[in-house]
Structure 1
Amino acid sequence: MHPPVQKAAPPGAASVSGASPDVLVIGGGVIGLVTAWRAARLGLRTAVADPAPGGGAAQVAAGMLAAVTELHYGEQTLLGLNLASARRYPEFAAELTEASGLDLGYRRCGTLAVALDADDRAHLRDLHALQLRSGLESEWLTGRECRRLEPLLAPGVRGGLRVDGDHQVDPRRLAAALLAACERAGVGFHRAAAERLTVVRGRATGADLGDGSRVTAGQVVLAAGSRSGLLAGVPEDVLPPVRPVKGQVLRLRMPDGLPGGVPFLSRTVRAVVRGGPLYLVPRENGELVVGATSEELGWDTTVTAGGVYELLRDAHELVPGITELPLVESRAGLRPGSPDNAPLLGPTALPGLLVATGHHRNGVLLTPVTGDVMAAALTGGPLPEEARAFTPDRFAPGAAGLPASSGPTPSSGPTPPSGPTPSSGPTPPSGPVPPSDPLQAPAHGAAQGPATAPAPQEQPV
């Protein structure tokens, strides 16, 4: 449960009064915004530094709240955190909708994970056994039963797992709602990038911004996504070991309805195709999200012809009719990956500096629990039990680390763009769509090439 609400400052107080905030959050994606909102609701004078708050993961992410189907071998510790956040979502969504006046697109539609060949079927059977051993609810279906649920699935589907406990949210609506809730709660916004952490007598005291200003604060939260490791002034042994993991995602437009009133897809559909995970996420507004690649290419955010081709090719094997749908948007962004691909949450060894980053593919799913964890940390309380394995000190020299997953070490690659920004690196699509940055999504193999995909045509929410 979230901490009790106290009276917050009036809207705009942190910006208008000029008083130093109690909390400065560096980064205005969903993780930074939920931290700021929870802090403000506790009565802490709070400010956010980000040139474009409300961007970040929300502009690219699929928004799957898939704690059960995201389970992988060796990630049982992370499963506990994912489940804790998933359980919070219904109440969190209702509270945020009331606070912002905006709908999040939260849907309890479930997930269907299917197998296209014998090897995939065996893998899903193993996953089902792991889920049951972990106390999770999922149901094994035959191929015929899968097609009864989703008639447009390929006839070659060999079987699948039905997981009704997996839900979804529209990440763009989530970001917009968090931004509105922050503004209503009195959070101040500095629309500039934080370039350097200020440290006085061994304590973090604020940040120097790209517009030449300095913000002094009682506590600083570094929530800058994949760029969290780039902030100058942070001691090397405290700097979060976060790397960018590129992902490409497509958005298609589904038809209004098929003969007999059958929807194109009624729930999230996932599969492993050619060794890489694939997901199709239908939205109530007719949008279909297809993703995602996973590429260790440093700071490159190019949408490639190869990435688009492989996503559409594999999606066609799963749902043959998908290639007839209009392609509305193609985007690429950067997930914030840590060495174990699990988040870093809570205080650091530098007094006054806390971090909330490294969420990798689970940023949207972990938004509610991250807000609660950071609220507890900012007020000096104990971290919730499910979050205690994810403190930043697990990566301190000599620490054993957390075996949440076998994520790669930070890769070499193109150097990041000059001038670190609070949120991770933006996507540079041509056309009217504004840039975005990291995304939460499972991995999917993709070609790596310099070609660009067609410019998107839809303005993000």
Structure 2
Amino acid sequence: MSDGVDVAVVGGGVVGLAVAWRARARGLTVRVLDRGELGGGTSRVAAGMLAPVAEADPGERPLLALGLQSARRWPAFAAELEDVTGLEVGYRSCGTLLVARDRDEAEALERELELRGRLGVRAQRVLPSAARRLEPALAPALRLALDLPGDHAVDPRALLAALAEACRRAGVQLQPHTDVPDPRALDAGRVVLAAGPWSGPPVRPVKGQALALRDPSGPGLVDRVLRWDGGYLVPRGDGRYYLGATMEEQGFDTAVTALGVYELLRDAGELVPGVLELELTETLCGLRPGTPDNAPLIGPDPDDPRLVWATGHFRGGVLLAPATADLVTAELCGEAPEHAFAPGRFAAEVRA
């Protein structure tokens, strides 16, 4: 199935295509195989937040370091993709506001601010009146906000189109609609497993429902990404908005439910009443690739070094794509980079 190539990449989402593009640039022959359409899985319904600061967790310092590193690469990564393909990827250095609706959430934001101070990342406390000057559509009942100017966003569907085109122009062999029951059986020098929630143990699917909204009058409701306890609103900059997302342990179920839609609109409407006036253009459901510790699997398999893992990115696949692609490509080229996400930490689960 992969005769004559140095690298077979299983999975044609953002991570898989980024790995393939970077590996081909290093002179390797590459084929990408996907069970469906290229980019038709998790990546297609992603929010596109580049948010290492908003996602910062004191128990995941190595992941924060990788996220910050990848975020720094994003402007050049996006510019190179646009230059190579002539396609825009929707990269926006818009910043993010974390917002609180009530006293409990405001107290939680104060703790989040203190945490970010300890982690050494940039965040600023913003009083409600100042937050509404930044984003006038916010409700008067807003209690507090944190400004995270370094957290940006990209349009995943535009990104996927550009990555696929960059791969084509570079000579990557693209093979959608191809089932790969056993990646180890592929006839290639190295095999990169980038199949997201379909990668197998210890990666599991975590369901997320979301909505695509549109303002027919154009952009202007909000400019920054807004995040609150349990949701987020991501402007695309052209009148389109992404409202997400639920977090559900439901296996591979991708049904959009009335309750999921209701809760998303209810919570968003409390903070940005104008959301309820937008057109609902699409209901979405994706499966995040989660691991037991929520950190990705990046590196050679402990039992079969021919297999390289590039999966388990959970909510950070789009953010971590540039760094993951560079780490995996270095491994494929024999440079064996050191990093904190070796698949060996779940070797027993993988073997099972």
TM-score, normalization: structure 2? 0.95
SS at match of 1:374: helix
* 1:356 is aligned to 2:327: no
Q: Following the alignment from structure 2 to structure 1, what is the Cα–Cα distance between the partners of residues 287 and 238?
A: 26
What is the one-letter code of the residue matched to 1:162? D
Q: CA deviation at 1:197?
A: 2.6
What is the one-letter code of the residue matched to 1:372? D
Q: CA deviation at 1:352?
A: 1.0
Structure of larger gyration radius: 1
Q: What is aligned with 2:243?
A: 290
Assess, with a 3 A threshold, how the Cα gap between structure 1 residues 398 and 361 changes in structure 2: closer, same or farther. closer
Answer whether contact 1:26 1:224 (CA < 8 A) is retained: yes
Where in structure 2 are the equivalents of 1:314-325 lying within 5 Å?
Answer: 314-325=267-278
Q: Following the alignment from structure 1 to structure 2, what is the Cα–Cα distance between the partners of residues 112 and 398?
A: 38
* 1:33 is aligned to 2:4: no
* 1:156 is aligned to 2:141: yes
Q: Following the alignment from structure 1 to structure 2, what is the Cα–Cα distance between the partners of residues 340 and 254?
A: 38
Q: Following the alignment from structure 2 to structure 1, what is the Cα–Cα distance between the partners of residues 257 and 347?
A: 37
* 1:337 is aligned to 2:322: no
* 1:392 is aligned to 2:343: yes
Determine which of 112, 115, 118 is the counterpart of 1:133.
118
Q: Following the alignment from structure 1 to structure 2, what is the Cα–Cα distance between the partners of residues 84 and 139?
A: 21
Q: 1:349-374 CA deviation, whole Å, 9 max, x = no partner?
A: 21311111000000100010011011
* 1:265 is aligned to 2:222: yes
What is the one-letter code of the residue matched to 1:21? V
Q: What is aligned with 1:241?
A: 202
Where in structure 2 are the equivalents of 1:170-209 lying within 5 Å?
Answer: 170-197=155-182, 204=184, 206-207=185-186
Answer whether contact 2:33 2:175 (CA < 8 A) is retained: yes
Q: What is aligned with 1:365?
A: 319
CA RMSD in angstroms, aligned pairs only: 1.8
Q: What is aligned with 1:226?
A: 197
Assess, with a 3 A threshold, how the Cα gap between structure 1 residues 398 and 342 changes in structure 2: closer, same or farther. closer
Answer whether contact 1:49 1:190 (CA < 8 A) is retained: yes
Listed as ranges, the gaps of 5+ residues in structure 2 are none
Q: Following the alignment from structure 1 to structure 2, what is the Cα–Cα distance between the partners of residues 281 and 89?
A: 17
Q: CA deviation at 1:117?
A: 0.9
* 1:59 is aligned to 2:44: yes
Q: Following the alignment from structure 1 to structure 2, what is the Cα–Cα distance between the partners of residues 48 and 266?
A: 36
Q: CA deviation at 1:20?
A: 1.1
Answer whether contact 1:255 1:264 (CA < 8 A) is retained: no
Q: CA deviation at 1:278?
A: 1.1
Q: Following the alignment from structure 2 to structure 1, what is the Cα–Cα distance between the partners of residues 283 and 181?
A: 33
How many correspondences in the alignment? 348
TM-score, normalization: structure 1? 0.73
Q: 1:226-254 CA deviation, whole Å, 9 max, x = no partner?
A: 0000xxxxxxxxxx400000000101112
Listed as ranges, the gaps of 5+ residues in structure 1 are 1-14, 199-203, 208-215, 230-239, 400-461
Answer whether contact 1:55 1:175 (CA < 8 A) is retained: no
Structure (1/2) with the larger helix percentage: 2
Answer whether contact 2:330 2:336 (CA < 8 A) is retained: yes
Q: Following the alignment from structure 1 to structure 2, what is the Cα–Cα distance between the partners of residues 116 and 75?
A: 27
Q: Following the alignment from structure 2 to structure 1, what is the Cα–Cα distance between the partners of residues 181 and 99?
A: 47
What is the one-letter code of the residue matched to 1:394? R
Identity of aligned residues (%): 54
Answer whether contact 1:336 1:359 (CA < 8 A) is retained: yes
Determine which of 315, 325, 332 is the counterpart of 1:378.
332
Q: What is aligned with 1:93?
A: 78
SS at match of 1:333: strand
Answer whether contact 2:3 2:188 (CA < 8 A) is retained: no
Where in structure 2 are the equivalents of 1:76-87 lying within 5 Å?
Answer: 76-87=61-72
